[in-house]
Structure 1
Amino acid sequence: MSWLTAEEALAQLGTKPQTLYANVSRGRIRAKADPADPRRSLYHTADVTRLAERHAGRRKSETVAAEAIQWGDPVLPSAVSTIVDGRLYYRGRDAVSLSASATLEAAAAVLWDAPAVELAGEAIESGPPVIRNAFLALAGRVTRDLPSLGRSRSVLRSEAISVFSCVSAALAPGRGDFVHIRLANAWGRPEAADCLRRALVLLADHELNASTFASRVTASSGASLSAAVLSGLSALTGPLHGGAWQGVSALADMARHTGAEEAVRRVLSQGNPLPAFGHPLYPDGDIRASALLQHFEMPRLFEEIRKAGEAATGERANVDFALTAMAESFALPGEAAMVIFALARTCGWLAHAMEQVEDGHLIRPRARYCGPALVAGG
């Protein structure tokens, strides 16, 4: 990555220092401490260039819109969650502070702006927790559940509890008052329960990420809440999103044979980004990762990868790394990171889907055609 000094960034932006700092706090420009002088900061060149071009005032509106959807300005207003000054908030409440004692059910109540959220009935026995179970459970509901439009907030909340319970039964089968206990028992790792609880709360929502946006688009069409969650789950499986744990696992496998420093060097020497290091919305490090990493003993190999990766990239390990390290620490099954992510984020998808239904507008962007020349007539 290429970085600029404050003077270089200000010259390119043509703004005052306060504006530069404001753009950093809003996640529009990534920043890091200058290795040569920790009192100074460096600013990501591509972010500065993108923002400078946006403010030039000479571009067409469709160009601005196209860039805004790629880590740009928020494209939808939302009261569900936000990231400000490197902190994550759920309806104004600090998510890290909430994770100190709250359950996922309590986090859902915050995100849904509801008095309380309790699972509907006991979880069914559906075999070991695997992501396939959630797909099957949701697909079975989509054709039965009613469309979301024209239904009151109280009715939608009741249906959200039903959908959440359905996903919880699929991904956290067995008995227990809370999903983190069910999940720990299903994996035969009761000692992991508290870490699982913290991870679930920290991952419950994250503003307009790819899977949440997919959920909102589906909900905007009037589709059922279960359909919105199924859309989010599908997007989550991508390797650039919830599937990032696979890149971390592959890096760990390489490091077992070559050592951490060599594994990191090989990835970077091939021109590939190091998986699970850095996050555009957290220039000073992913707060969710640092909060989670404090509560389990990181395996030695992962600690070595973390040190080598941070030294080589200048970026800190993010929550995907922390989640994969936690799964390794407690000897959880291969899909554990994805199961935890999907179970947690179901709460956020439902919160955004209900908010989108209340908004009542179809999300329908236009395409900027760049194909072959148009030929009129026959």
Structure 2
Amino acid sequence: MAEERAERLTTQQVAEQLGVKVETVYAYASRGQLSSERAPDGKGSTFDAREVAELARRGRRPAAKAVAGGPVEVRTGLTLIEDGRLYYRGRDAAELAERHGFEAAVGWFWGQGTDPGVRFPVPPAAAEALDRASAVLPAGIRLPDRLRVAVAVASATDPLRFDLREEAVRATGAGLVAGMVAALPPTAPDPGPGATLAARLWSRLAPGAPGPGAVECLDRALVLLLDHELAVSTVAARVAASARAHPYAVVSAGLGATDGPLHGAAGLPAYRMLGDVLAAGAVPVVAEHLRTGRRVPGLGHRLYPQGDPRATALLRAVRGLAGGERVVAAVEELCEVAGGRSADQPNVDLALAALAHTAGLPAEAGEVVFAVARTPGWLGHAVEEYREEELRMRARATYTGPRPQHG
């Protein structure tokens, strides 16, 4: 017997079921989130009731626009921070990092599962342009700045960058991440075709071939930094996506927010401070910070009063590397001298600094690892934002200037 035809809904019925306008239903269809068929009478369209129910179940109904400066509700099915733990789509991030590499973790984060994971090929057109751009950049340019240039160059080579369908954004993102890594100058032997993204990134950061467990440790860091709910760079990325900026512009917005000392670039002072601790011990370093009224970097995180689980997982891996025991011991000494409270536990910036010192990576490595890892996270949030009401992230100002003059 032929399979029974699925129930079809009219456009108005879909709008009522999802709680959106009719125009939004057509927007869903244009982005491939709903498939439509012409109604039997030729008037209007019909939609598969099962697809509509799945769309509603996954919480894709656009949130109401903010009115007169009211708060915007950001619903996300990607990341949860709860009870001192970090989860990607309901799965503990530390556990995911221990069991899987970055390719599988991104696959999970993008809703595609861990097997076989996401491939990161460099688009041929972008590869040639990135090589040319890299060749003309000054030799001393910072590695994070090379990443920003790479995003702009890759964008210019992609005439289809305004394709905002989910599968197109994912493909763009995979190529962009690969291109960002490829744009960094090589510092170690090329790992060869088929290498993981972590192995490729190692060859752009490390001074030589990796020791036992080193690439796996870097891989773990990438997974742990993939996303962190609505961090400021993610908010910047979602604001760009709400204006329907293309994926490259979304990533550029996220990168812009990481250039401040309180977010992505927070790892540099932690790296320098840990170097001082390794050279002279924790007591004089902490004493100098106290004397000058500076906060000791790399300690504490307001979302994790009992300690950053990402730092715990990464430091555990660093300890297993050659020389890692000494570096992790320095981290522990620092925490003890700083006060030994929960608020003085290492955060992920200090854990990245520990990895860099152990593996001989440059001071900028933490910022690079953060940016590369977070790019698929920003694009995952962009995909969610593309489903929402456009321009909903507009804030309203409270005017404090002089009143207009009349008469």
TM range (shorter): 0.7 to 0.9
**Do 2:306 and 2:343's aligned partners in 1 also have CA atoms closer than 8 Å?**
no
> What is the match of residue 289 of structure 1?
311
**Structure 1: gaps (5+ residues):** 1-60, 66-73
Distance of 1:254 and 1:121 partners within structure 2: 39
Alignment map for 1:63-82 (pairs within 5 Å): 75-82=73-80
Alignment map for 1:15-94 (pairs within 5 Å): 75-94=73-92
Structure 1 residues 100 and 260: alpha-carbon distance in aligned structure 2, compared to 1, 3 A threshold: same
Distance of 1:200 and 1:190 partners within structure 2: 16
Matching residue within 105, 108, 131 for 1:107? 105
Distance of 1:260 and 1:291 partners within structure 2: 22
SS at 1:83's partner residue? strand
Alignment map for 1:113-132 (pairs within 5 Å): 113-114=111-112, 116-121=117-122, 130-132=143-145
Deviation at 1:62, TM superposition (A): 8.5
> What is the match of residue 358 of structure 1?
387
Distance of 1:171 and 1:350 partners within structure 2: 21
> What is the match of residue 152 of structure 2?
139
Give the fraction of aligned pairs with identical amino acids, expressed as a percent: 37
Residue range with higher mean Cα deviation, 89-98 or 182-191:
182-191
> Could you state the TM-score of these two structures normalised by the residue count of structure 1?
0.73
Deviation at 1:85, TM superposition (A): 0.7
SS at 1:294's partner residue? helix
Matching residue within 242, 258, 264 for 1:236? 258
Residue range with higher mean Cα deviation, 249-258 or 274-283:
249-258
> What is the match of residue 271 of structure 1?
293
Structure 1 residues 255 and 97: alpha-carbon distance in aligned structure 2, compared to 1, 3 A threshold: closer
Distance of 1:376 and 1:146 partners within structure 2: 49
Distance of 1:83 and 1:106 partners within structure 2: 21
Deviation at 1:349, TM superposition (A): 0.9
Residue range with higher mean Cα deviation, 125-134 or 148-157:
125-134
Matched, 1:226 2:248: yes
AA aligned to 2:237 is S
> What is the match of residue 169 of structure 2?
156
**Do 1:172 and 1:182's aligned partners in 2 also have CA atoms closer than 8 Å?**
no
> What is the match of residue 95 of structure 1?
93
Structure 1 residues 258 and 215: alpha-carbon distance in aligned structure 2, compared to 1, 3 A threshold: same
Structure 1 residues 221 and 145: alpha-carbon distance in aligned structure 2, compared to 1, 3 A threshold: farther
Structure 1 residues 291 and 234: alpha-carbon distance in aligned structure 2, compared to 1, 3 A threshold: same
Distance of 1:318 and 1:303 partners within structure 2: 12
Structure 1 residues 230 and 64: alpha-carbon distance in aligned structure 2, compared to 1, 3 A threshold: closer
Matched, 1:320 2:349: yes
What is the Cα-based RMSD across aligned positions, in Å? 2.9
Distance of 2:332 and 2:295 partners within structure 1: 19
Distance of 2:82 and 2:343 partners within structure 1: 22
Deviation at 1:144, TM superposition (A): 5.2
Residue range with higher mean Cα deviation, 157-166 or 85-94:
157-166
**Do 1:211 and 1:232's aligned partners in 2 also have CA atoms closer than 8 Å?**
yes
Structure 1 residues 172 and 87: alpha-carbon distance in aligned structure 2, compared to 1, 3 A threshold: farther
Structure 1 residues 151 and 237: alpha-carbon distance in aligned structure 2, compared to 1, 3 A threshold: closer
Structure with larger Rg? 2
AA aligned to 1:179 is L
Matched, 1:306 2:335: yes
Structure 1 residues 254 and 75: alpha-carbon distance in aligned structure 2, compared to 1, 3 A threshold: farther
Matched, 1:212 2:230: no
> What is the match of residue 181 of structure 1?
199
**Do 1:119 and 1:164's aligned partners in 2 also have CA atoms closer than 8 Å?**
yes
**Do 1:145 and 1:226's aligned partners in 2 also have CA atoms closer than 8 Å?**
no
Q: Deviations over 1:145-185 (max 9, x none)?
A: 46877743222222222222222322486435211111223
SS at 2:340's partner residue? helix
Q: Deviations over 1:209-234 (max 9, x none)?
A: 01111111111111110111111112
> What is the match of residue 210 of structure 2?
190
Distance of 1:284 and 1:313 partners within structure 2: 5
SS at 1:190's partner residue? coil
Structure 1 residues 112 and 250: alpha-carbon distance in aligned structure 2, compared to 1, 3 A threshold: same
Structure 1 residues 184 and 256: alpha-carbon distance in aligned structure 2, compared to 1, 3 A threshold: closer
SS at 2:257's partner residue? helix
SS at 2:335's partner residue? helix
Runs (4+) of structure 1 exceeding 6 A deviation are: 61-64, 147-150
Matched, 1:339 2:334: no
Structure 1 residues 144 and 356: alpha-carbon distance in aligned structure 2, compared to 1, 3 A threshold: farther
**Structure 2: gaps (5+ residues):** 1-66, 319-323
Distance of 1:140 and 1:185 partners within structure 2: 22
SS at 1:295's partner residue? helix
Matched, 1:367 2:397: yes
Q: Deviations over 1:72-93 (max 9, x none)?
A: xx95111111101111111111
Distance of 1:121 and 1:257 partners within structure 2: 41
Matching residue within 187, 201, 211 for 2:223? 201
**Do 1:131 and 1:338's aligned partners in 2 also have CA atoms closer than 8 Å?**
yes
**Do 1:146 and 1:224's aligned partners in 2 also have CA atoms closer than 8 Å?**
no
Deviation at 1:140, TM superposition (A): 1.6
Structure 1 residues 375 and 117: alpha-carbon distance in aligned structure 2, compared to 1, 3 A threshold: same
**Do 1:278 and 1:316's aligned partners in 2 also have CA atoms closer than 8 Å?**
yes
